Amino acid sequence: MEKLNRDFYLNNALVTAEKLIGKILVHNINGKVLKGRIVETEAYRGPFDKAAHSYNNKGKNGRTAVQYKEGGYAYVYLIYGMYYCFNVTTSPENEPECVLIRALEPLEGIDYMKKIRNTENIKNLCSGPGKLCKAMEIDKNCYGMDLCGNELFILSDDNDYSKFVGVSKRINIDYAQECADYMWRFYLKDSPYVSVKPK
DNA sequence: CGGAAGATTTCT
DNA sequence: GAAATCTTCCGA
């Protein structure tokens, strides 16, 4: 169990998304430690992915600016005016790719998560991009945070999860035309904590 | 400068 | 099935 270093994040988003399955997301905030195992991700590859915020190199100076840096930073944005989504940026500088973290298996700080999520059902704490951001206390203050730092980072796991990774289409991007059919969603097979059951 | 839509969740 | 709610983008 050790912190993932910068090199881990320099692969493209597709490779990184698959490798992130089974890893452990850690957030140190206000003296609390919140942890969850990553069980669901999606890859977004800006320049040639119509579903990405950075499609066609859009928004280089706006919301997506952090995606243009080298990989390993937090890309956090507000969706539908009420929920945050947490992404890990990937690839070398000037390649705006990122991985959306869609679901976690809660590991530490569960009582606190139950409180702020207002539910007792552990399977419902982090089973969705908006839900896990609330449970992990990730918001716009985390935008651009360096994942090689000590506040928000990801740990490796001694187990090999590669044999248990499933693949499917991404969720809720019907507007992206042919890109909507790309098999760029990864999840831990048989985990009860994924957000949407694959077909 | 105004309107529309979105990588969602929750309640009815 | 619809509402909640606000940032960003695009057209005028």
A63 CB contact with strand C at below 7 Å: yes
Averaged pLDDT, A17-44: 97
Superfamily of domain A6-188: Methylpurine-DNA glycosylase (MPG) (3.10.300.10)
Residue A81 has pLDDT above 70, yes or no: yes
- Could you tell me the pLDDT band of residue A148, with boundaries at 50, 70 and 90? very high
Q: A5-11 long-range CB contacts below 8 Å, 24 or more apart?
A: A5/A148, A6/A70, A6/A71, A6/A72, A6/A148, A8/A72, A9/A70, A9/A71, A9/A72, A9/A88, A9/A89, A9/A90, A9/A91, A9/A147, A10/A70, A10/A71, A10/A72, A10/A90, A10/A91, A10/A92, A11/A71, A11/A90, A11/A91
Backbone angles phi, psi at A78, to 5 degrees: -95, 130
Instruction: Considering all nucleic acid strands, name the nucleotide whose C1' atom is nearest to the C-alpha of residue A140.
Output: C7
Through-space separation of residue A83 CA and nucleotide C4 C1' in angstroms: 11
Gap from A160 CA to B12 C1', Å: 43
The string of pLDDT tens digits covering residues A86-99 is 999 999 999 999 99
Q: Is the pLDDT of residue A198 over 80?
A: no
The answer to whether the C-beta of A172 is closer than 7 A to strand B is: yes
- Gap between the terminal Cα atoms of chain A: 33
**B chain positions with any atom within 7 Å of a protein CB:** 5-10
Å from the A81 CA to the B4 C1' = 14
* Domain ranges across chain A: 6-188
The answer to whether the beta carbon of residue A52 comes closer than 7 angstroms to any atom of strand B is: yes
Spatial distance between the Cα atoms of A97 and A11, rounded to a whole number of angstroms: 10
Estimate in Å the CA A59 to C1' C9 gap, whole number: 10
| Matching residue, tokens 């070398």 | A92
Q: Which residue type sits at A175? A: Y
Structural contact between residues A1 and A135, judged by C-beta atoms closer than 8 angstroms: no
Contact at 8 Å (CB) between A57 and A46?
yes
Over residues A122-139, mean pLDDT = 97
Strand C at less than 7 A from CB of A1 = no
Torsion of CA A123, A17, A73, A85, to 10 degrees: -40
Confidence of residue A158 (pLDDT cuts 50, 70, 90): confident
